[in-house]
Chains A and B, each alone.
Chain A
C-alpha cells in the first residue's frame, strides 16, 4: 500500500471552521446539524461598551425595588379597606391627587416595563437564530415598550379628575 503524502488529505487542526461539518468536501457534511450561531475565528469581538453589564445590574436593582413597589401596590389594591370592591374612578382620582402615589405609579410603570423588556430582550437573543428575526422581534418589542411607557406617563401627568 502506498503511503505517499499526496494520497492523504491533510486537515489541519487550525483549519478555519466553515460552519458546515469539517469542510472536507464530504457530501455527508450536509447531514451534520450545526448548532445555532457557532463561534468561529470570524465571530465579532469586543463591543467595548458596558451595556450588557449595566443591563444586568439594572435587572438586579430594579428587581429589588419592584418587589417593594408591586407588593405594596397589590396589598393596597386587593386587601386593605375592602380590597378591589372599593376601586372606582373616584378612588383612582383620589390617589393620583397626591404626588407620592403619582411618583409610586410612575416608578412602577417605568421599572416594570424596562425590567420586562430587558428580560424579553435576553429571551429573543437566546432563541432567535437569524439576525433579521432578532432585529424585527426586538424592534417590535421596543416600539411596544416605548408606546406603553409614554402612554402611561402621559396619563399619570395629565390625568384630570373632572373629566
Chain B
C-alpha cells in the first residue's frame, strides 16, 4: 500500500523534497483535540510548523508536543511502523503517523489529524482500545493442538506457511477495524483485525482449532456482517489484503458446512 502522492502543482520545497535537498516548508496541522476534563466537545486546533516535507507526520506531532503544546496527547512507541500505536485518521484516511511522510499528504493544505473512528476517544488522539482487543481475544489468537506435544519443533512446509503469510503481518494497530463502516455502527462486530488474526490460525496447518474459530466467526456479529467495502484493505499500513482474508474465512465456512 502506498499513500497517494499529489499530482497538484508542486512547490519548490516539494521538488526539493524529491531531489533530496533539505528545504523547510510551513506546514499546518489541523488536529481534533478533545479533553473531557476541560470541555465536553472536541475542537479543531491549527498548529503552524516549519518542517522538512521528507519527515513523517509523527515528527510533526512530536514537534507540536515538544515545542508548542505539551498537552497534545497521542500514542506512539517504536515510531517505525511495527508497534501499531499511532494509527490515526490523517486527511480523512486511517494511516500510521510514523509511516506517512508529510510530502505525501499534501502539506500545501492544512493536514487534518483526528482519532480513529468507532472507538471512544479518551483524550485528543487516544482512543479506548479495550473493545478492539476484546474482539481479538474472542477469536482465540493462539495455537490450539490436540494430543501429545512433539519433542521437536512443529515443522511446516514452505507452501503451508505461504498459505497464511499475508495475515501474519498484522500489527494490531486498529486502522482496518476503525475504518469499517459496519464497525462504526455496531461495535460488537468482530471487525477486520480480529478476523485477520483468526485467519492466521485457521489456515495454519499446525493448528487444530480451526473449527472452533470458524464457529465463533459464524456468529451473528461474525464474518457475515462484512459488506466488502474494502475500507480495511485500503487502510492497512502493512498492505494486508484484509477483505480477501475475510472472504477466505467465509468460503471456508460455506465449504465446511456443505
Contacts and interface: CB of A to CB of B under 8 A. Distances in A.
A41 B186 contact: no
Interface in A4-37: 17, 21-22, 26, 28-37
B121 interface: yes
Contacts of B222: 52
B36 interface: yes
Interface in B186-218: 186-188, 190, 215-216, 218
A39 B218 contact: no
Contacts of A43: 134, 138, 188, 221
B17 interface: no
A29 B130 contact: no
B118 interface: yes
Interface stretch (B84-92, B150-158, B232-240, B249-257): B249-257
A162 interface: no
Contacts of B224: 52-53, 55-56
A56 B36 contact: no
12 contacts: A17-B128, A22-B122, A29-B36, A34-B120, A35-B187, A37-B186, A38-B131, A39-B190, A46-B215, A53-B224, A53-B253, A126-B186
Contacts of B184: 35
A56 B185 CA distance: 19
Contact of A53 (B35, B40, B254): B254
Nearest to B182: A126
Given A21-B36, A37-B188, A126-B185, 11 more contacts: A17-B131, A21-B122, A33-B121, A35-B131, A35-B187, A36-B187, A39-B134, A43-B221, A46-B215, A53-B253, A126-B186
Enumerate the 5 nearest inter-chain pairs by beta-carbon distance, A residue then B residue, closest first. A28-B36, A31-B36, A31-B40, A52-B224, A38-B187
Interface of A: 17, 21-22, 26, 28-41, 43, 45-48, 50-53, 55-57, 122, 125-127
Contacts of B219: 45-47, 52
B220 interface: yes
Interface string B129-151: 01100110010000000000000
B162 interface: no
Contacts of A38: 120, 130-131, 187-188
Nearest to B132: A39
Which bracket fits the contact residues of B?
35 or more
B120 A33 contact: yes
B37 interface: yes
Given A35-B184, A39-B131, A43-B134, A26 B254 contact: no
A110 to B, nearest CB: 22
A40 B131 contact: yes
Contacts of B185: 36, 126-127
B172 interface: no
B31 interface: no
A65 to B, nearest CB: 18
Contacts of A53: 218, 224, 253-254, 257
A40 B35 CA distance: 24
Contacts of A55: 224
B119 interface: yes
Given A32-B120, A32-B121, A35-B119, A52 B182 contact: no
Contacts of B138: 39, 43, 45
Contacts of B250: 56
Nearest to B224: A52
Contacts of B190: 39
Nearest to B117: A35
A47 B222 CA distance: 11
Nearest to B136: A39
Nearest to B194: A39
Contact of B188 (A30, A39, A122): A39
